[in-house]
Amino acid sequence: MAHVSQRKKIIVDELTNLAKKYNVIALLDMEGMPANTLQEMREKLRKHAKIVMSKKRLMKIVFKNVESEKEGITKLEEHFRGMPALLFTEENPFRIASILKKSRTPAHAKAGQIAPDDIVVKAGPTSFPPGPIISELGSIGLKTGVEGGKVAIKEDKVVVKKGEVIPPKVAEVLTRLDIKPVELGLTMTAAYENGIIYTQDVLEVDEQHYIDLLKQAALESFAVALTQGIITEETVKPILEKAAREAFMLAVFKDIITEDTAKFILAKAETQASNVKTKANL
């Protein structure tokens, strides 16, 4: 027993030193990770981060040990999920979370897993002929019919809600339908940096959404700059072109004859004279 306690003390000391050394400390969920996949991810992140597996109880001791230097780090305990591990890095936690997210692959659900999101079976045809499959689908609440000699699901159905345990029967039916509602890979459940804890929903932001917002903001800023005549490298040409068009239109309206306006003013005068002639019945 004394030997085991000493071993745990060594582990806690090592993790405490790492927690003091690194600016970012994150929690990972390694639930369902095959050993070979985990090894590949460690190799991929070797230059960016250090991953260490440990028990929750020892992690809590480590957080307590460094709390005086890293205020609020003990709140990471609220984000233990699945099979937790620690990740230490000096890089932006959003970048590391993005690398992890992009490396995940769709997988079939297993009984007992927690649904990461609502699991929905969409309406549509299946590849199964009528038979026992109808009762199997019905056992998890799916409404079915027969279309073109094949069983079809008549309407969308949420079979497991986010955060709920996936029942064995649901996992079995989803596998038969080749629906892969979970992702295989490492998940960053939370990250601590400079007194702030970022949760998974914040870390895994939709990058394209924010890129689109920036593009829209740039277009709107450009439009405002043009309207207000704000000169920049990007606006100077269209502002000068706009000014030239407006000056040209004003010159034509005020009958200011120049090399560019002469033919338009003469055409306008001819049109006006034609209108007068028509009204006078000449």
Same domain (yes/no): 77, 149: no
What pLDDT does residue 248 have? 83
Same domain (yes/no): 152, 164: yes
Q: Is residue 60 part of a domain?
A: yes
What pLDDT does residue 281 have? 67
Length of the chain: 282
3-state secondary structure 186-201: CEEEEEEECCEEEEHH
Same domain (yes/no): 189, 100: yes
| Domain that residue 74 falls in | 2-104+185-205
What pLDDT does residue 282 have? 58
Q: One digit per residue, pLDDT tens: the chain, 282 residues?
A: 445 588 889 999 999 999 999 999 999 998 877 777 788 888 888 888 999 999 999 999 999 999 999 999 999 999 998 889 999 999 999 999 988 888 888 889 889 888 888 999 999 999 999 999 999 999 999 999 999 999 999 999 999 998 899 999 999 999 999 999 988 888 899 999 999 999 998 898 777 777 888 889 988 988 888 888 888 888 888 888 888 888 888 888 888 888 888 888 888 778 877 777 777 765
Q: Is residue 109 part of a domain?
A: no
Same domain (yes/no): 31, 99: yes
Same domain (yes/no): 91, 137: no
Asked whether the beta carbons of 178 and 122 are under 8 A apart, the reply is no
What pLDDT does residue 167 have? 94
Same domain (yes/no): 215, 199: no
Same domain (yes/no): 244, 193: no
Residue type, 79: H
Question: Looking at the 3D structure of the chain, how many domains does it have?
Answer: 3
- The CATH number of whichever domain residue 148 belongs to comes to 3.90.105.20
Q: Is residue 29 part of a domain?
A: yes
Last residue of a domain, one of 171, 205, 239: 205
* Distance, CA of 263 to CA of 259 (rounded, Å): 8
Last residue of a domain, one of 205, 238, 257: 205
Alpha-helical runs (H) found in the chain: 2-21, 35-45, 56-66, 93-103, 133-138, 168-176, 200-203, 207-228, 236-253, 262-279
Same domain (yes/no): 18, 100: yes
